[in-house]
């Protein structure tokens, strides 16, 4: 079903130049947030950045930080990202021991709480818990590396998640392979927050790329 909320575009700094992150954040000043992928080399094979870098980015970012924790033991680490000022903190369902307790701790620390599902993780076990979250992230690639192709097999899960959300005030984010070629399919399935890495940072004009993704998603959502 079409979703009435305005689509949001959160470019992933995983595709940015890590030696110049302040300048790279300035390139996406028209975005809704900066998507910050935190990877620990355990939950996923890649290793990126952690809390000290997020604290530094928070001081210079022109947009809110949307932190996606691809880490083991988020129950221990996730609240600190909200305390550091991240607007949103998303942890993986597969890694959390007590997802509801953790979501409440993130919210108590001032952040919006999100729960992420890998492509093979069904949404159904979490349907009764959805009201505890501000966002559900359906991964549209296997988490761990940027630049992968969008997995169309996740579209039915996006539709089921949107149906489960119903009238709840919960955003539905997709992350992985989002581009001008795929954003409309994801939006039509019910997503309203779009994480795009190389589609934005690989463009000469990042602001124009963000606006194009927003326009395409909005059209598919019925805006």
pLDDT digits (tens, 9 = 90+) for 66-123: 999 999 999 999 999 999 999 999 999 999 999 999 999 999 999 999 999 999 999 9
Query: What SS3 state is found at 180?
Result: coil
Is 175 one of the catalytic residues? yes
Q: DSSP assignment of 82-151, as one string?
A: HHTT-SEEEEETTT-SSHHHHHHHHHHTT-EEEEEE-TTS-SGGGGGGGGG-SEEEEESS-TT-SSPPP-
- pLDDT 10s digits, 4-16: 689 999 999 999 9
79: helix, strand or coil: helix
Q: Which entry of 37, 40, 134, 192 is annotated as an active-site residue?
A: 37
Angle between helices 74-83 and 51-60 (to 10 degrees): 20
Sequence-distant (≥ 6) Cβ neighbours of residue 68 within 8 angstroms: 35, 36, 37, 38, 90, 114, 116, 137, 175, 195
Query: One of 32, 40, 175, 192 is an active-site residue; which one?
Result: 175
| The predicted structure's pLDDT at residue 5 | 81
Complete domains list, the chain, with CATH: 8-221 (3.20.20.70)
Confidence of residue 34 (pLDDT cuts 50, 70, 90): very high
The pTM for the full model equals 0.95
Band (pLDDT 50/70/90 cuts) for residue 1 is very low
Residue 176 zone, left/alpha/beta (φ > 0; ψ -120 to 50; rest)? left
Round to whole Å and give the CA distance between 174 and 136: 9
Query: Percent of the chain beyond pLDDT 90?
Result: 91
> Is 37 among the residues known to form the active site?
yes
Kindly state the DSSP code that residue 182 receives in the 8-state scheme: T
Residue 125 — left, alpha, or beta (φ > 0 → left; ψ -120 to 50 → alpha)? alpha
């Amino acid at each position: 079903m079409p979703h009435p909320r305005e689509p949001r575009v959160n470019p992933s700094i995983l595709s940015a130049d890590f030696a110049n992150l302040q300048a790279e954040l300035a390139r996406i000043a028209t975005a809704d947030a900066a998507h910050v992928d935190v990877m620990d080399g355990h939950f996923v094979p890649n290793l990126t950045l952690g809390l000290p870098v997020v604290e530094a980015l928070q001081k210079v970012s022109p947009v809110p930080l949307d932190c996606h924790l691809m880490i083991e033991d988020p129950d221990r680490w996730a609240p600190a990202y909200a305390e550091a000022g991240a607007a949103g903190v998303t942890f993986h369902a597969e890694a959390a021991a007590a997802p509801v307790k953790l979501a409440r701790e993130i919210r108590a620390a001032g952040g919006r709480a999100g729960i992420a599902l890998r492509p093979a993780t069904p949404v159904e076990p979490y349907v009764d818990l959805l009201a505890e979250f501000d966002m559900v992230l359906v991964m549209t690639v296997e988490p761990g590396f940027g630049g992968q192709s969008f997995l169309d097999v996740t579209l039915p899960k996006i539709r089921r998640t949107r149906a489960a959300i119903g009238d709840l005030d919960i955003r539905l984010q997709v992350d992985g392979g989002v581009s001008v070629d795929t954003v409309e399919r994801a939006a039509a399935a019910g997503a309203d927050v779009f994480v795009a890495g190389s589609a934005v940072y690989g463009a000469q004009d990042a602001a124009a790329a963000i606006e194009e993704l927003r326009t395409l998603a909005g059209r598919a959502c019925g805006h």
